[in-house]
Structure 1
Amino acid sequence: MWNRSLGIVNERLLAVADSKGWWIGRVELIWCLYDWANSAFATSVLGTFLPVHFARHVVPASGLELAFRRWSWHIEAPSLWAYTVSLALFIVALSAPLLGAVADHRGRRKTFFLAFAAMGSLATCALYGATAGRVGFTIFVFVLAHIGFSGSEVFYNAYLPVIAPSEKRDRLSGLGYAFGYVGGGLLLAIHLLFIRNHAAWGVPTVDGAVRLAFVSVGIWWAVFTLPSLFLPSEETPPRLPLRRILAGAVRDLNDTIRDTRRNRHRFLFILSYFIYNNGIQTVISMASIYGATELGLSLQTLLGAFLLTQWIAFPGAVFVARSAERWGTRRVLFMTLCLWCAIVVYAYRMTCAWEFWILAAFVGFILGGSQSLSRSLYSQMIPPDRSSKFFGFFAVGGKFSAILGPLCFGISRDLLGDSRRAILTVLIFFLVGMALLSRVRVADANASALQSKTLTCRDHGGAAP
């Protein structure tokens, strides 16, 4: 009797926890842990250490003089860093849709996911060799690491509509970002303590401590990716010749593009995301090098500010996700883009360290929310059985936009002569993206997708479910 009573109480507690969103299952927890794993790269390598290390130690202080026959071009570290980020994302943007289609066609979503994660973590460890003057080596290894980071996210995101019903995707997507910000922030705090006391650990220079931090990020990424081995695997279709697999993948990709173009509201959202994500990715990739070169901030100040961003991002992502459940995903996403516009104007006007701290706090509050809601909103407009293909196409918008933003920033900086005026170009991306997002209707996108599926089933002699 006592055991039975305890069992009833336990079942009721679990039911309440599940209804309140306090409980997640094993698969959902494993999915969230990968955000914990790879966010260390976004935080410590992409966002903080490598841009500053690249500008102050790898590239000569006078910049580089690129010459080809009679043509010459003087380039400084901030512009070169922007072009490097754009190059890495250009490669991912070209390959992501095809890889997504191949993964769905062969039932290899998890294989591609783990392969990209392994490549990214190993390349991050190799950044230990990013010493003074090794510009080409640093760019090559960073591009490999960034390809691993961005490529793995294509297949990681594709799991969202598979493991969560539509009514729980906002919360799970936000929870994933919250895990990422806590994990990335925890490792960043360890790095801050390590660099401030590097001599006590037997490391004579800050440069050497930073390069050891790169190695720790690669190890962290690899270790916390291991639980992903237990993510569900798809049924493997019968083996086919490579030519037929690639032909089928290309055909599926063409169908995905055609389906997206026919679905007006899904197409509008992709276009909107393509544009406003320019601004988000430019702020992420250029913030630390902007603070170091324009404001003259020390590495410790930049680390502290980014650590603040990480810890504020956790409650921020949860708050924005809960707001989306109450007010609607599209509406709350639009509000976060309004805040991004204010942040850009503030970044243009700031002149000292304490203002950079305020900027970091506001960025942290809305960063995870705007990204998680974009992912969640898109997942509500695609068929779950073709999620890898559609998220591969989603990556085209995400990665090509991430190319255009830093690229425009780098060109503007070269033309205008400083990063302060160049940052205002980011405002254009947010304003245009907001205008397009205001015209997206999720319900109409779902209705259009259902009608398209019904017509497809009839064309093939079947019946729509």
Structure 2
Amino acid sequence: MSLLRRLFPTDRAQRAWCLYDWANSAFATSVLAVFLPVYFAKVVVPPDGVTLPILGLAWHTGASSLWAYTVSLSVLLVAVSAPLVGRVADEKASRKGFLLLCVAAGASATAFLAACGPGDVFRTLATFMAAYVAFSTSEIFYNSYLPHIAVASARDWLSGLGYAYGYVGGGLLLAVHLWALAHPTLLGLEDSAAAIRVFFLSVGIWWAVFSVPCALWLPKGIRRVREDDSHPPHLFSREFWAVYREIAAFPGALLMVCAYFFFNNGIQTVIAMASMYGATALKLETGDIALAFLITQAVAFPGALLLSRLAESHGTKRVLLVSIGLWCLIVLAAYKVDTAAQFQGLAACVGFVLGGSQALSRSLFSRLIPRERSSQFFGFFAVGGKFSALLGPFFFGLVQDLTEEPRSAILSVLFFFLAGLVLMWRVPEDD
């Protein structure tokens, strides 16, 4: 019974918090990681690629690199706005309102992807960007709730449990999508491309429906009192840039952001580019790629919980260092992948370390910051994460365009994991 109570929190706020991972992980899995990159490469983009006018030059690029550049541009928008949005949420005690606004925008844009078809290159990318920005911004407010709904000793477990819920929820919907992809005519759909468009619509509905508990049960944000909060900071104000200086008073948190900047670079590049790499470089079928990500989801659930339990007994920082080291080995192994079976085996390895790496990073950072300013500081945490998600896919696409060799792009990811490992070593020990 004790384990059941830990898996199903009795506190309604904690339950709603976990269910939001269940809700939005469907976008991260079925849309971002699996079906949209493959659909974009095989259906939307012409076989000979597209030519972009850049600084008066004609830059010809294919689906894989164009996807990488778009992911980078999307996260740039989030990274620039994250500290400001986080601070405003703290000042005005409006984190729940911001979270629900992101849910509405993201779920709607995801559903609208169903209207994008062959040749709709830039409409597809613009719609995806809207959904991705809403998804990423919502995570700022979602993460910032952690120190307000759980005591310090319970955060490792709750953080890992949130990711575990996400992997189960996203995995369940992905399993349904995988079955539908194999039997589109049973659902009255013309082909697999039509099925994938329906998947986009279903993800939007899933995201919205399972976010309802957040609206009902999450508490409003704790208001941070300022001497003068009648003029909320804006992008070009001195107050806004003062936010960046404030984190220097917490060197552990600043170092954590820097370490996260690098190793999350690699993680986000793997997530964003794996299915595109499988579709374009390895020529894998959509079903094989979807199965690989379903395996990742299945393994990630026990992986997140196991690493969270190990962190409770051996220390969050130590376990996080081990997980980053495992990521380095995974990248080296990815260089040699050739078959669908190898791709799926590597997906299982990714699943084991994925949830734990992210959950423990979130938990460790929450201990290095002042509780009453969590939204503001998690905005900085998002900067580290989102700017890294910007650089990783960008360099992946650039290396691929310059070398015309996808495997060289894979090795470029290793640098970010190694840099993150070195910096994480210097982060203060957690309690």
TM-score, structure 1 as length reference: 0.88
> Which residue identity is paired with 2:357?
S
**Cα pair 1:279 1:429 within 8 Å, conserved:** yes
SS at match of 1:392: helix
Hey, what's the Cα distance between the residues in 2 that align with 1:233 and 1:183? 25
Task: Determine the C-alpha separation between the residues in 2 that align with 1:220 and 1:347.
Answer: 32
Residue in structure 2 matching 1:346, options 333, 337, 343: 333
Return the letter of the residue paired with 2:366: S
Whether 1:192 aligns to 2:178 is yes
Matched, 1:152 2:168: no
Q: Which amino acid aligns with 2:418?
A: L
Partner of 2:188: 202
Task: Report 1:31-50 matches (<5 A).
Answer: 31-50=17-36
Matched, 1:310 2:297: yes
Residue 380 (structure 2) pairs with residue 380 (structure 1): no
* SS of match in other structure, 1:66: strand
Q: Take 1:253 and 1:239, find their aligned partners in 2: how far apart are those partners?
A: 14
> In the aligned structure 2, how far is the partner of 1:272 from the partner of 1:199?
48
Q: Read off the aligned partner of 1:98 and give its amino acid letter.
A: L
Tell me whether 65-74 or 276-285 shows the greater mean CA deviation: 65-74
2:150 to 164, 171, 175: 164
Q: Distance in 2 between matches of 1:239 and 1:329?
A: 33
Aligned counterparts of 1:385 and 1:241: Cα–Cα separation in 2? 17
Alpha-carbon distance in structure 2 between the residues aligned to 1:73 and 1:309: 35
1:33-86 deviation per Cα after TM superposition (whole angstroms, max 9, x unaligned): 000000000000000000000001111010012236851111000000000101
- TM-aligned CA deviation for residue 142 of structure 1: 0.2
Q: Classify 1:252/1:408 alpha carbon distance in 2 versus 1 (closer, same or farther; 3 Å).
A: same
Counterparts of residues 194-273 of structure 1 (less than 5 Å): 194-230=180-216, 231-234=218-221, 244-246=231-233, 253-273=240-260
**Aligned amino acid, residue 19 of structure 2:** L
Q: Kindly provide the amino acid, as one letter, of the partner of residue 39 in structure 1.
A: S
Q: If you compute each CA radius of gyration, which structure gives the higher value, 1 or 2?
A: 1
Secondary structure of the residue aligned to 1:440 is: coil
C-alpha separation in 2, matches of 1:321 and 1:281 = 20
In the aligned structure 2, how far is the partner of 1:69 from the partner of 1:30?
48
**Does the 8 Å CA contact 2:92/2:223 hold for their aligned counterparts?**
yes
1:413 aligns with 2:407: no
Q: What is the CA deviation profile of residues 89-123 of structure 1, one whole-angstrom value per residue up to 9, with x for unaligned ones? A: 11111111101101111110100011011100000
Q: 2:269: which partner in 1?
A: 282
* 1:265–1:442 contact (8 Å) kept in structure 2: no
> Would the aligned equivalents of 1:101 and 1:249 in 2 still touch at CA under 8 Å?
no
Distance 1:375 1:56, change over 3 A: same
CA–CA distance in structure 2, aligned partners of residues 351 and 169 of structure 1? 40
Distance 2:118 2:396 in 1: 25
Aligned letter for 2:347? Answer: A
Asked if 1:322 corresponds to 2:309, the answer is yes
**2:48 aligned residue:** 62
- The unaligned stretches of length 5 or more in structure 2 are none
> C-alpha separation between the residues in 1 aligned to 2:239 and 2:13?
28
Letter in 2 for 1:144: A
Name the CA distance, whole Å, in 2 between partners of 1:88 and 1:64. 19
Instruction: Find the aligned partners of 2:223 and 2:421 in 1 and give their Cα distance.
Output: 41
Distance 2:243 2:198 in 1: 43
- Report the secondary structure of 2:53's partner residue: strand
Question: Across the two proteins, how many residue pairs are aligned to each other?
Answer: 430
Q: What's the CA shift for 1:294?
A: 1.3
* 3-state SS of paired residue (1:424): helix
Q: Does 1:138 align with 2:110?
A: no
Asked whether the equivalents of residues 101 and 388 of structure 1 are also in contact (C-alpha less than 8 Å), the reply is: yes
In 2, Cα distance between equivalents of 1:185 and 1:223: 17
Kept after mapping to 1: 8 A contact 2:233/2:239? no
Aligned-partner Cα distance in 1 for 2:55–2:134: 35
Choose 411-420 or 253-262, whichever is displaced more: 253-262
Q: Measure, in 1, the Cα distance between the counterparts of 2:224 and 2:424.
A: 38
- Is 1:174 the counterpart of 2:176? The answer is no
1:430 equivalent in structure 2: 417
Q: Distance in 1 between matches of 2:4 and 2:332?
A: 42
2: CA distance, partners of 1:368 / 1:68: 38
CA distance in 2, matches of 1:378, 1:241: 28
Q: Residue 93 of structure 1 corresponds to which residue in structure 2? A: 79
Counterpart position of 1:83: 69
- Measure the CA separation in 2 of the matches of 1:240 and 1:437: 36
Kept in 1: contact 2:84–2:234 (CA 8 A):
no
* Alpha-carbon separation, structure 1, partners of 2:44 and 2:398: 21
* Partner residue, 1:441: 428
CA distance in 1, matches of 2:87, 2:182: 47
Q: What is the SS of the residue equivalent to 1:346?
A: helix
1:421 CA drift (Å): 1.2
Alignment partner of 2:46: what SS?
coil
Contact 2:85 2:379 in 1 (8 A): yes
Residue aligning to 2:280: 293
CA-to-aligned-CA distance 1:176-220 (integer Å, 9 cap, x gap): 000000000000000011111101111011111000000000000
How far does residue 266 in structure 1 lie from its aligned partner after superposition?
1.9
Equivalent residue, structure 1, for 2:109: 123
Q: 1:39 to 1:295 in 2, by over 3 A?
A: same
Are residues 1:104 and 2:96 paired?
no
Q: 1:85/1:69 Cα in 2 relative to 1: closer, same or farther (>3 Å)?
A: closer
**Counterpart of 1:336?**
323
Is the Cα contact below 8 Å between 2:51 and 2:58 reproduced in 1?
yes
Q: Alpha carbons of 1:378 and 1:252: their partners in 2 closer, same or farther (altered >3 Å)?
A: farther
Is the 2:90–2:223 Cα contact (8 Å) retained in structure 1?
no
The residue identity in structure 2 corresponding to 1:257 is Y
